[in-house]
Amino acid sequence: MKDRLQAGDELTVRRFTVTFRGGERPLGPQQRSAVVLYLRSLVNSEQVDRFMLLPLLAGEVPGQGNLEEAIADRLPASSLKRTASLDSTVQAMLAGEAVLLIDDAETIFHIAAQQVAKRSPDEPEAERIIRGPKEGFIEELDANVGLIRRRLRTETLRVTRLQIGRRSPTHVALFYLDGVANPQVIDTVRQRLGAVDLDTVPNSSLLQALIQDSPWTLFPLMRISERPDTVTRELSNGRIVILADGSPSALLVPATFWDLLKTEVDYAYGPWVATFYRLVRFLGLLIGGTLPGLYIALVSFHPELIPNRLSLTIAASREGMPLATLTEMGGMLLVFEIFREATLRTPPAIGQAVGVVAGFILGQAAVAAGIISDIMVVVVALSAISLKVVPDFEMVMVVRIISFGGLISSALFGLFGLGLWGIVLGTHLVSLKSFGVPFLSPLAPSQSGGWLDVVIRAPLFLLRKRPAHLGPQDPTRLGSYDQPEPHRIRPGAEGRNTAKQPDGKKGG
Amino acid sequence: MVTDRRQVLTIMLLLLAIALTGCWDNRDPRNRAFVTALGDDGLLEVTFQIPAAGQLRGSAGGGGGKQNQVAFTTVTGRGENFAEGFARAQASVSRELYLGQMNLLVFGRRLVAKGLQPLTLELARTPEAVTCFYAMADRAKEALATAPSVEPVPGVYIRSFFESVEVRGRFLQTRMWKLYRGLITPGRDPFMPVMETTGGATRLAGTAVLRGDRLAAVLDEEESRGLAWLLTGTRREALTVKVGGRAYALRHIESRVTTRVHWEGNRPAARAYVRITAEVSAPWSHLDSETLNRVEAALSNHVQEEAGTFLKRAQRAGSDPVGFGARLLDADPWRWPQVNWDREYPRLHLDVAARSHIYGTGMRK
């Protein structure tokens, strides 16, 4: 065992003797030597002492004959497992279990006594909301399963555990609601996960790259969330969730383009507020993706399309600038990306100072020095800020890259080039699929009623059906709904029940 | 096979795209001279008004100090025709003269007197000129070189001035495409507002009416208003009528005009019905119904008079900007060829019947 693990000092070995009084051999107590092995870094030694060593050292182990049964009866741990192979024993030790070996016995006993540094389930940074639950997944799979189970107290919640990783097996859990999720999609997910032949799985995002439909695409074909409430909602919509041990990010499949623009907040407020902010998000996406290209196209190719005074203002701001519009815009966007990366890598304490230097001082100084025009700063800042409304972080970066593409095609062919770029992207988007579900559904291909929760967010009582494009087994989410009867309270009529009777007419 | 053809087609379309537009159309604003106004004095002189972008920046920056600075320049080129004038003017500026932001076309009086035809035929091939406002000035070059008091660039100033409702109601103005239409429609003559530069300021003073493509007469303000009544251009015009020694200020709301053409024996005659709606803006005390009737009658009279004055002048000049001839052609296309409209129009029996309705009298119904 020592040779296999090569763990040196970390491997704790405790030798002792078990006294056993068997029924079959009435010769008196027998002495057997035993050893407890575990990796100190993974195991809580107190638990091992309490549930493994103490019961066996406290006195003689009584038994009806079989030594192994007698020992199993003696150990009070509920997690007690028995194996016979050395390989699985090594795996168990690496997973944080303590192992008991007894001289002359074929069975090896393990108990789970893991001790892992855990953080509390704090609200995820990237998915903060004002109203609603403030919990987030952590790096421990069992805790995450618990967070989901607590929200979905139904026996139809199926949790399938797989082990992925040739060299270091990692637990991966697959969640779905039986009778809701589409069985074909479940099979596909299972099949693809089973085919993953990765040696280690440090992060669930690696699985995403290996199991998504189009490995070459720019777009993320899965939604990632660290919120148990989002995961619960999507499970009940008929989606499948993949969680890997050691990673707080849940993969939600199948995902559509529109899912990447949804947030949990959409369901925390009324339909009007939610719809308005969803539209704002779309607008932000559009501005962030097209504004740099549009500016180049309008200013360099089609100035006649700009209103009179604005064109003069732009001309005035471009006057005397040493760089061509494209160089200026491309340079500014690149510099912005560099700033973004730089502030991301900077510790928060000085990150703010870096931000001020980057954004304010450099921007202002460059304009004052006459290197870049002030309108260009406005355009670049606007396109950068607009993208911040997109909730999915990967999507933000994708749209950034798209905007560079739009910039280049606009610089080559003007508005026509921008249109062409739009067509190329549109064609690509409609060709994408996420686990068999078209990426742009339910709008393309369109599904009746599908738009109710896409661009707008209809009142919840209209969202009676689960998303049809996911092919759920049980299409109905909300059963019957009756609008509450209005009650009228008469002032002055104290002590009497003045509420309108439910059999009364509606209105009033 | 099908895929091959499709691929070829796609590639061809993409190549075609490059032919439609390309990097060679890319021109940085630094290298463009945005022409805001164009003047043509005929006699081989074309003037372009170019805002000096660098100076606009100062005035746009706000604050003060540079408010009175002239932020534009003019370039003049001489040539046999517009294209040559353009080329010569272009040769004297370092930047490309760019007509896409042009607002205003000013025709010099001498050019209009000589006839617009050669120039308009050339301009019709300049798509940028189609949506421009146009006006006539004594000398286009001077009109374009005059700095306005509010805007830093006169072309922009004139445009916003033209677009203001009050000005539109008093001096009818239209875009170039309507001028083209007026030039080619039988039985209708074009008109153009007259720009006057006095004491370093530009204003509109009257309307020029054309006969064919030549200047026929310049109407004064009253006659211009008469034309505006008949072409329903009047908008929010402040009107004052006197009844019983008291002045009533009215504000025009809307008017409608119907023209009818009929035959008096062998000769055509025409009548314009004008219905005016106005509201009382002062005095604020209420009108009784008798006064109201008198005010309404006075307003109708006022309109009839102004329109009548205009018609007399127009008939004398032989110009038909209202388009009675076109109306006759519509109504009686078979007899039109027998009518010598140029001869008939000056002695045509034309009259105007106005009816007005006044709101806001303070009377309760």
| Residues of chain B numbered 252-281 and touching chain A (CB < 8 Å) | none
Residue A417 to residue B28, Cβ atoms within 8 A: no
In sequence order, which ranges of chain B are alpha helices (DSSP H)? 2-20, 53-60, 82-91, 109-114, 117-123, 140-145, 154-163, 165-170, 176-184, 221-230, 289-317, 324-331, 341-344
List CB contacts (< 8 A) between B157 and chain A.
none
Q: Are B51 and B59 in contact (CB under 8 A)?
A: no
pLDDT band at A506 (very low <50, low <70, confident <90, very high): very low
Is the confidence at residue B58, as pLDDT, over 70? no
- Residue among A304, A318, A420 whose CB faces B30 most closely: A318
> Over the stretch A484-501, which tens digit does the pLDDT of each residue have?
888 888 777 555 554 545
CA of B175, closest CA in chain A: separation in Å?
16
The label of the residue with tokens 């490059």 reads B18
Q: What is the 3-state secondary structure (H, E, C) of A70-89?
A: HHHHHCCCCCCEEECCHHHH
Q: Which of A277, A278, A220, A274 is nearest to A249 (CA)?
A: A220
Least confident of A252-266, B52-66, B325-339: B52-66
**Is B304 at the interface with chain A, CB within 8 A?**
no
Residue A359 pLDDT greater than 70, yes or no: yes
> Among residues A312, A311, A277, A316, which one has the least CA distance to residue A295?
A311
Chain B: closest CA distance from residue A353 (Å): 29
CB A84 within 8 A of CB A107: yes
CB contact under 8 A, B21 and A324: no
Rounded distance between C-alpha atoms, residue A390 and residue A127, angstroms: 11
From the list B21, B36, B153, the residue facing A413 with the nearest CB is B21
Q: Which of B23, B53, B103 is facing A315, going by the closest CB pair?
A: B53
* Closest residue to A301, CB basis, from B25, B56, B103: B25
Residues of chain A contacting residue B54, judged by C-beta atoms under 8 Å apart:
316, 319-320
| CA–CA distances in Å: residue B247 to residues B222, B279, B284, B295 | 19, 14, 12, 10
**Contact (CB, 8 A) for A176 and A240:** yes
Q: pLDDT tens digits, residue range A30-42? A: 788 889 999 888 8
In what helix (H) or strand (E) does residue A192 lie, and over which residues does it extend? helix A183-195
pLDDT the model gives residue A147:
93
Share of chain A above pLDDT 70, in %: 95
Does the beta-carbon distance from A416 to B20 stay under 8 Å? yes
Query: Taking all residues of chain A, what is their mean pLDDT, rounded to a whole number?
Result: 86
| Min Cα–Cα distance to chain B from A433, Å | 23
Give yes or no for B25 touching A (CB within 8 A).
yes
Instruction: Give the minimum alpha-carbon distance from B52 to chain A in angstroms, rounded to a whole number.
Output: 8
CB-based contact, B6 to chain A, within 8 Å: no
User: In this complex, do B53 and A312 lie within 8 Å of one another by their Cβ atoms?
Assistant: yes
Question: In what side-by-side order are the strands of the sheet with A81-83?
Answer: A61-62, A11-21, A30-39, A97-102, A108-112, A81-83
The answer on pLDDT for A230 being more than 90 is yes
**Which residues lie below 8 Å from residue A307, measured CB to CB, with a gap of 6+?**
none
A483: which DSSP letter?
P
pLDDT score, position B23: 65
Question: Where is mean pLDDT largest: A116-130, A379-393, B19-33, B227-241?
Answer: A379-393
pLDDT at B275 over 90: yes
Over 60: is that where the pLDDT of B60 sits? Answer: no
* B153:A313 CB<8 A: no
Pick from A308, A323, A367, A378 the residue to mutate for testing the B interface (most B CBs within 10 Å).
Answer: A308
Determine whether the interchain pair A312/B51 forms a contact, defined as Cβ–Cβ distance below 8 Å: yes
Nearest CA in chain B to A297: B26
| A93-112 tens-digit pLDDT | 888 889 998 888 888 888 88
Q: Is B159 on the interface with A (CB under 8 A)?
A: yes
Say which amino acid occupies B224.
S
| Token pair listed for B55 | 């100076």
Q: Does B126 touch chain A (CB under 8 A)?
A: no
Chain B nearest-CA distance from A139, in A, is 50
Do B29 and A300 count as a contact with CB atoms less than 8 A apart? Answer: yes
Q: Is B27 on the interface with A (CB under 8 A)?
A: yes
pLDDT class for B365, splitting at 50, 70, 90? very low
Q: Cβ(B141)–Cβ(B45) under 8 Å?
A: yes
Which residues of chain B are within 8 Å of residue A303 when distances are taken between CB atoms? Answer: 29, 32, 34, 98, 100-101
The string of pLDDT tens digits covering residues B64-80 is: 334 445 678 888 888 77
Q: Measuring CA to CA, which residue among B77, B85, B78, B55 is closest to residue B68?
A: B55
Q: Which of B15, B55, B57 to mutate to test the interface with A (most CBs of A within 10 A)?
A: B57
Query: In the A/B pair of chains, how many CB contacts fall below 8 A?
Result: 87
List % helix, strand, coil for chain B (3-state, nearest 5).
40, 30, 30
Phi/psi of residue A420, each to 5°?
-60, -45
Which residue on chain A is closest to B60 by alpha carbon? A313
A304 contacts B100? CB cut-off 8 A:
yes
Q: Is B23 on the interface with A (CB under 8 A)?
A: yes
Q: Which residue of B has its CA nearest to A411?
A: B23
Query: Chain B: nearest CA to A363, how far in angstroms?
Result: 18
User: In angstroms, what separates the C-alpha of B99 from chain A's closest C-alpha?
Assistant: 8
Residue of B nearest to A326 (CA): B28
* Percent of chain A's residues with pLDDT above 90: 34
DSSP state of B64: S
* Mean of pLDDT values over A422-440: 93
Please report which confidence band the pLDDT of residue B63 belongs to, taking 50, 70 and 90 as the band edges.
Answer: very low
CB contact under 8 A, A308 and B53: no
Residues of A in CB contact (< 8 Å) with B are 299-304, 306, 308-309, 311-321, 324-326, 411-414, 416-417, 420
* Strand pairing category for B37-42 and B45-51: antiparallel
CB contact under 8 A, B54 and A299: no
Q: Distance, in angstroms, between A420 CA and closest chain B CA?
A: 9
Is residue A508 scored above 50 in pLDDT? no
pLDDT digits (tens, 9 = 90+) for B332-344: 899 888 888 888 8
Paired tokens of A65: 């004959």
Q: B245: burial class by Cβ within 10 Å (0-12, 13-18, 19+)?
A: exposed
Element holding B39 (H helix, E strand) = strand B37-42
User: In Å, how far is B314's CA from the nearest CA of chain A?
Assistant: 36
| B363: confidence class by pLDDT, cuts 50, 70, 90 | low
Identify the pLDDT of residue A289: 93
Q: B147 CA to chain A: closest CA distance, Å?
A: 17
Identify from B10, B16, B28, B163 which residue to disrupt to test chain A contact, counting A C-beta atoms within 10 A and taking the largest count: B28
Nearest CA distance, A262 vs chain B (angstrom): 36
Q: 3-class DSSP state for residue B255? A: strand
Confidence band, pLDDT 50/70/90 cuts, at residue A188? very high
Minimal CA separation from B100 to chain A, in Å: 5
Structure confidence by residue, pLDDT tens digits, B133-169:
888 888 888 888 877 766 777 777 777 777 776 666 6
> Does B128 touch chain A if contact means CB atoms closer than 8 Å?
yes
H/E stretch holding A142: helix A141-151
Our CA-based measurement puts residue B34 at a distance from the nearest CA of chain A, in whole angstroms, of: 8
* Residue predicted with more confidence, A245 or A356: A245
Q: With CB atoms and an 8 Å threshold, state whether B21 touches A414.
A: yes
Quick check: A301 and B57 CB within 8 A? Answer: no
Whole-number pLDDT of residue B171: 64
Higher pLDDT, B174 or A86: A86
- Residue A354 pLDDT > 50: yes
pLDDT of residue B354: 92
Backbone angles phi, psi at A160, to 5 degrees: -105, 130
**A23 pLDDT higher than 80:** no
pTM of the model: 0.79
Pick from A301, A310, A312 the residue to mutate for testing the B interface (most B CBs within 10 Å).
Answer: A312
Contact yes or no for A314 and B29 at CB 8 A: yes
Question: How much is the average pLDDT of B2-17?
Answer: 78
Q: Is the pLDDT of residue A393 over 70?
A: yes
**What's the pLDDT band for A382 if we cut at 50, 70, 90?**
very high
What residues in A contact B159, CB-CB < 8 Å?
A: 308
